[in-house]
Amino acid sequence: MAAAAAQKVQEVRDITRIERIGAHSHIRGLGLDDSLEARQVSQGMVGQVAARRAAGVILEMIKEGKIAGRAVLIAGQPGTGKTAIAMGMAQSLGPDTPFTAIAGSEIYSLEMGKTEALTQAFRRSIGVRIKEETEIIEGEVVEIQIDRPASGTGAKVGKLTLKTTEMETVYDLGTKMIESLTKEKVQAGDIITIDKATGKVSKLGRSFNRARDYDAMGPQTKFVQCPEGEIQKRKEVVHTVTLHEIDVINSRTQGFLALFSGDTGEIKGEVREQINAKVAEWREEGKADIVPGVLFIDEVHMLDIECFSFLNRALENDMAPVLIMATNRGITKIRGTNYKSPHGIPLDLLDRLLIISTSPYQEKDLRQILTIRCEEEDVEMSEDAIFLLTKIAQETSLRYSIQLITASSLVCRKRKGTEVNVDDIKRVYSLFLDEARSTQVLKEYQTEFMFHEDESTDPVSEAMETEAETA
Ligand SMILES: Nc1ncnc2c1ncn2[C@@H]1O[C@H](COP(=O)(O)OP(=O)(O)OP(=O)(O)O)[C@@H](O)[C@H]1O
Ligand SMILES: [Mg+2]
């Protein structure tokens, strides 16, 4: 059951991978050296040295895999890199440690209760590393021969000849196998493995014997030795799946297809209990380990008092992940109560947190970040344009000036330029308002907008307000 589940999960993951340039796509890690000191600029990260170092210490604890149920809060002003640091941590964890990122507001949905949404997020962040022995066929492809049926309709058949340094065997191929081999573009000279249970074909590389064909291959070709010994062998493979993935596959109402759609709905308590028991059994038999991952809740002040109390409890479970939260709020009301508290988080939860704080950037850091963003977005920009953009970042905000990069490069392209210059920046600066100027405009022209706070000079909005009251 474990192996089959892992296989299905892998298929789903293979399908749902898309890469685009996003707000944090330039972040490739925390940029720390071996002694966890933050390098000024590294892996897309700039400055914010103390916070990055602190994040590195937490990361070290996570990688050891021993701690569970710790919680960290990253607190600081907007645009100081809190989310960026969390993304950096995710990047440094490697593919086998689950990392789940949600925003506090995501748990409010009509489809499931708040605590169900949080439970799912927790279980997405716990990995189960399953070890199993499988039979595989591994060797160098000597020849693939596919016979097309004369009629053009019948099933395809064929033969595959594989060899190791010691032996050579011919296998008959069915339609399904032919499809997988074609999909992987397997050809003579490739070293491949075939999982006997699932029929999954993986290409390991080209055989060294074929290294003289190098010119025709291109530089990305990987060369490997022709395998030794038997063609059929037993191999231990390790899959990591999350508890949530196991839950979904085993819940009768949703099943495997729900993993594709993401439409999982609520999962019954009994299902989870059964899975917990099963996983405990696997652990005892040495078939599986628990890999505590990371749950990142951004904008955590959006959670309410019930959620916070749920978190308190959930952190005490021995299968709890490491919880990282971020907020830009100061002392504010705890949602769902009339009490105020630092960051809008109740004191009993705050008491369990390690708090990392971020501070506003200096000019040098801003310029570096903007330069990195230009590279990420493939925008050429002149020195003085970057200088001006940095000035704008200081006066307005880092986010606003990051936005101007794409806009100014469009303006530059319109005038058929190749490098964004000061005039392009000036132009987009006048086209798009930042928050401060937008407020200014609203103050000046507020009578012309709906629902303004200025005293009743506008009959339309007044009428609307009274209507709202009576409704
Ligand atoms: N130290 C940094 N190095 C590189 N890029 C950074 C750094 N800090 C912030 N950025 C980039 O600046 C932008 C704003 O930062 P980010 O979104 O992390 O701010 P935040 O602290 O999460 O703000 P908020 O409180 O509004 O959520 C992002 O595109 C982010 O990737
Ligand atoms: Mg953020």
My answer on whether 88 and 145 are in the same domain is no
**In-domain check, residue 343:** yes
**In-domain check, residue 348:** yes
| 73-89 pLDDT per residue, tens | 999 999 999 999 999 99
Least confident of 201-205, 240-244, 261-265, 466-470: 466-470
My answer on whether 375 and 347 are in the same domain is no
148 dihedral zone (left: phi>0; alpha: psi -120 to 50; beta): beta
Per-residue pLDDT, averaged over 384-389, amounts to: 94
Residue 444 has pLDDT above 80, yes or no: yes
Ligand 2 mean position to 302 CA, how many Å? Answer: 13
Residue 130 CB less than 6 A away from ligand 1: no
Ligand 1 mean position to 82 CA, how many Å? Answer: 6
Supply 428's token pair: 């987009």
Q: Which ligand approaches the C-alpha of residue 330 most closely?
A: 1
* CB contact set of 467 (below 8 Å; sequence gap of 6+): none
Ligand 2 mean position to 103 CA, how many Å? Answer: 9
434, 396 contact by CB (below 8 A): yes
Which pLDDT value is given to residue 456? 46
**In-domain check, residue 280:** no
339, 333 contact by CB (below 8 A): yes
* Phi and psi, residue 277, nearest 5°: -65, -45
Closest CA to 325 of 291, 285, 353: 353
Which run of H or E residues covers position 324?
strand 322-327
| 83-124 pLDDT per residue, tens | 999 999 988 887 788 999 999 999 988 778 899 999 999 999
Per-residue pLDDT, averaged over 219-230, amounts to: 83
My answer on whether 139 and 158 are in the same domain is yes
Residue 24 CB less than 6 A away from ligand 1: yes
Quickly tell me which residue has 């920009």 as its tokens. 381
Residue 373 CB less than 6 A away from ligand 1: no
Rounded percentage of the chain residues whose pLDDT exceeds 70: 85
**In-domain check, residue 273:** no
Pairwise CA distance, residues 370 & 366, whole Å: 6
My answer on whether 186 and 226 are in the same domain is yes
**In-domain check, residue 38:** yes
Choice from 105, 399, 400, 406 to test ligand 1 binding pocket (greatest atom count within 8 A of CB): 399
**In-domain check, residue 264:** no
Which pLDDT value is given to residue 263? 61
Residue 82 CB less than 6 A away from ligand 1: yes
Residue 381 CB less than 6 A away from ligand 1: no
pTM of the model: 0.76
Choice from 20, 21, 24, 365 to test ligand 1 binding pocket (greatest atom count within 8 A of CB): 24
> Which residues share a beta bridge with 304?
335
Ligand 1 mean position to 106 CA, how many Å? Answer: 20
227, 243 contact by CB (below 8 A): no
My answer on whether 84 and 158 are in the same domain is no
Pairwise CA distance, residues 188 & 161, whole Å: 9
**In-domain check, residue 420:** yes
Ligand 1 mean position to 136 CA, how many Å? Answer: 46
My answer on whether 353 and 429 are in the same domain is no
**In-domain check, residue 338:** yes
Which run of H or E residues covers position 355?
strand 353-357
User: Residue 397 — pLDDT band, cuts 50, 70, 90?
Assistant: very high
Residue 39 CB less than 6 A away from ligand 1: no
Point out the domain boundary residue: 360, 383, 418: 360
Which pLDDT value is given to residue 258? 56
Could you tell me which residue, 19 or 434, shows the higher pLDDT? 434
My answer on whether 414 and 355 are in the same domain is no
* Phi and psi, residue 101, nearest 5°: -120, 125
Which pLDDT value is given to residue 369? 95
Q: Which ligand approaches the C-alpha of residue 365 most closely?
A: 1
My answer on whether 158 and 229 are in the same domain is yes
My answer on whether 339 and 378 are in the same domain is no
Q: Where are the alpha helices (DSSP H) in 227-268?
A: 243-250, 257-261
CATH number where 425 lies: 1.10.8.60
Ligand 1 mean position to 86 CA, how many Å? Answer: 10
Specify the ligand 1 atom closest to the Cα of 85. Answer: 18
User: Residue 280 — pLDDT band, cuts 50, 70, 90?
Assistant: very high
Choice from 39, 77, 82 to test ligand 1 binding pocket (greatest atom count within 8 A of CB): 82
Specify the ligand 1 atom closest to the Cα of 23. Answer: 29
Ligand 2 mean position to 299 CA, how many Å? Answer: 7
Point out the domain boundary residue: 237, 270, 285: 237
Specify the ligand 1 atom closest to the Cα of 26. Answer: 31
Closest CA to 295 of 78, 50, 16, 97: 97
My answer on whether 142 and 225 are in the same domain is yes
Residue 160 CB less than 6 A away from ligand 1: no
Pairwise CA distance, residues 168 & 212, whole Å: 22
Residue 471 has pLDDT above 90, yes or no: no
Buried b (16+ CB within 10 A) or exposed e, 427-440: bbbeeeebeeeeee
CATH number where 159 lies: 2.40.50.360
Could you tell me which residue, 218 or 301, shows the higher pLDDT? 301
Could you tell me which residue, 469 or 453, shows the higher pLDDT? 453
Pairwise CA distance, residues 321 & 20, whole Å: 28
Which pLDDT value is given to residue 459? 46
Q: Which ligand approaches the C-alpha of residue 329 most closely?
A: 1
Count of domains forming the chain: 3
Sign of the four-CA dihedral 247, 3, 157, 165: positive
Report how far apart, in Å, the C-alpha atoms of 426 and of each of 154, 364, 366, 368 are: 67, 21, 18, 20
Least confident of 121-125, 209-213, 359-363: 209-213
The domain of 411 spans 363-448
My answer on whether 347 and 367 are in the same domain is no
My answer on whether 175 and 83 are in the same domain is no
Buried b (16+ CB within 10 A) or exposed e, 189-202: bbbbbbbeeeeebe
Report how far apart, in Å, the C-alpha atoms of 36 and of each of 39, 64, 207, 437 are: 9, 15, 40, 41
Point out the domain boundary residue: 198, 222, 237: 237
The one-letter amino acid code at 171 reads Y
Pairwise CA distance, residues 6 & 104, whole Å: 29
